[in-house]
Chain A
């Protein structure tokens, strides 16, 4: 029974994190898949979103600025807005840089954002990070929420305490997971609309042949900046969910470019860039592999340990984590060479009209 419940909860957690990564991958899909903007600063935008949300919604703390008591929803909206504004500024300056140059510029900007978060200790608590970030649904069982409006309209503090005590410990987990998934679905619908609308077709045209698009009188720079901002807004939203899921964020380890940014690129390329469904599929698939591979590798090490005693498996145990990185790297090479356009390749909107 415990095992089944455990599996179910792990499955929910896979869906939650997968969903957050799906949002990030969708954001990247707007930038790369639609507009061909090579953004390697995903960690930076996610960090902006996560920190905005955390600072606005977290309770008073002696360690950092905060205690504003802003409702969670507005914290999330602010996270999206700020991420979008920063993307706008970067976009105006950097958007004319092409491919690799934009990649290097965005990687540098993301590092500078992280350095800022790390050194502005009064605001962000520096490298120690912000903790006690309220998680949607679970936050309702925090005292500062159930003792204030609107929750007090329904029943008083004692009533709420009794209610939460009657629920199983993990009651919030499915609720939070479903919330994340609903947002993924909402963003997906929105992006599908955008992709099939004239805006999306124009983006494809610009990506495929910039000069032709320009000659046809399209404002290429403006469209590009729009895509950059839209992608960053989605990444900011994902950052806010990321902060809720982790409940502690710090600038260095949480938003490690090599892990976060890279993993999302792998997800998009594996799923199929340009295809929103592909981005979502890639996110869930790669995250499941990433998370599950630890179980698989650790259990294989144990099996090796049980069936032979030729050499000490201690070294294998401590280095298994690197084996995991190695496998992900090789998997990426395999996908790139075998499925260069991903599991679900891009389908052009024009083809739908012809059917």
Chain B
């Protein structure tokens, strides 16, 4: 079975699917947290990803031209994360907070409007053209290739994919610690499970909201930078294009379930890449023209069959 499958399946379908899944997963964490704690679908989330990547690019370019430092994108991302969190908290303060007690639609509309505002601001400042993030072709890691070839299972993985997968795992570990062990993490879970009960027990809801933006913003910028590392350029619509698959991931995993979102992200990423595998005959199973439809179809089927998601999230 596995010999006829060949390792091309692992190298060209499975690993790329996992890499894409990691990016979706990180983005979906923020969406599911906002959905669970603030109870609205944040349409501006993709733009946070994109802005984070742009800020990272700007910082590393400035460091290169002013100081002559060649910063790794992951280091340049640290100040970008802080800036993006600041922006998120300001947006929340002035554009979302006024609608805390209003019907959900108001704040969803507000987030839709923020999506436009943030994106067009970035387009106005940086221009609509693509920016090169990392130049050149990142070929598969030679050491890994030779090492695994000795075992007849040659792995072809470029370095950037190791970074992305390792980065996602580290963030996930930290995130688990935060949610399971820290006071604020427990409070976040409590608010997500039952906001009424949580406020009765004296949890500072505003602090939880702030923490939500910090965690969500951190993960979103990480997702944006990982995406930029993978595609190696920046464009202003990169966040919006990821938004619907990330929603799909959040719903698949169950709203308010961060680990569900991670799982959902991986599934959506894999499903998109595997849909082009020639399962039957030589042609892709589903025409790549329908690739975007894969995530949407999974999402709609999930909504109809089991709206609470795989991990039994909240339904409203």
Contact = CB atoms under 8 A, between A and B. Distances in A.
A112 B127 CA distance: 30
A95 to B, nearest CB: 11
Nearest to A324: B120
Nearest to A100: B41
11 contacts: A101-B315, A104-B251, A109-B296, A111-B296, A112-B297, A115-B292, A262-B112, A319-B123, A323-B120, A332-B112, A332-B113
A140 interface: no
A329 interface: yes
Contacts of A328: 116
Contact of A265 (B109, B247, B293, B307): B109
Interface in B136-190: none
B41 A104 contact: yes
A108 B296 contact: yes
A333 interface: yes
Interface stretch (B58-66, B98-106, B263-271): B98-106
A287 to B, nearest CB: 16
Interface string B238-282: 001000100110010000000000000000000000000000000
B290 interface: yes
B289 interface: yes
Contacts of B287: 119
Contact of B113 (A319, A324, A333): A333
B110 interface: yes
B316 interface: yes
B134 interface: no
Contacts of B316: 98-101
Interface string B303-316: 11001000000011
Interface residues of A, number: 41
Interface of B: 35, 40-41, 95, 98-99, 102, 104-106, 108-110, 112-117, 119-121, 123-124, 127-128, 240, 244, 247-248, 251, 287, 289-290, 292-293, 296-297, 299-300, 303-304, 307, 315-316
Interface in A322-336: 322-326, 328-330, 332-333, 336
Q: Most chain-A Cβ atoms within 10 A of its Cβ — which of B104, B109, B113, B251? A: B113
Contacts of B300: 94, 105, 108-109, 112
A303 interface: no
B299 A108 contact: yes
A303 to B, nearest CB: 19
B interface SS class: helix
A118 interface: yes
A146 interface: no
A107 B127 CA distance: 28
Contacts of A262: 112, 116
B137 to A, nearest CB: 29
A268 to B, nearest CB: 10
Nearest to B240: A258
B110 A333 contact: yes
A285 interface: no
B108 A340 contact: no
A104 B116 CA distance: 18
Interface of A: 32, 38, 93-94, 97-101, 103-105, 107-109, 111-112, 115, 118-119, 258, 262, 265-266, 269, 315, 318-319, 322-326, 328-330, 332-333, 336-337, 340
A315 B126 CA distance: 10
B106 A330 contact: no
Contact of A326 (B98, B124, B303): B124
Contacts of A329: 113-117, 120
Contacts of B119: 325
A237 B110 CA distance: 29
Contact of A100 (B108, B124, B248, B293): B108
A34 B110 CA distance: 21
A101 B305 CA distance: 13
Nearest to A98: B316
Contact of B303 (A94, A118, A266): A94
Nearest to A273: B105
B304 A93 contact: yes
B188 to A, nearest CB: 20
Contacts of A332: 109-110, 112-113, 116
A54 B40 CA distance: 38
Contact of B104 (A100, A109, A324, A325): A100
A266 B109 CA distance: 8
Contacts of B303: 94, 97, 101, 104-105
Nearest to B105: A38
A42 to B, nearest CB: 13
B160 to A, nearest CB: 29
Given A101-B316, A258-B240, A333-B113, A319 B95 contact: no
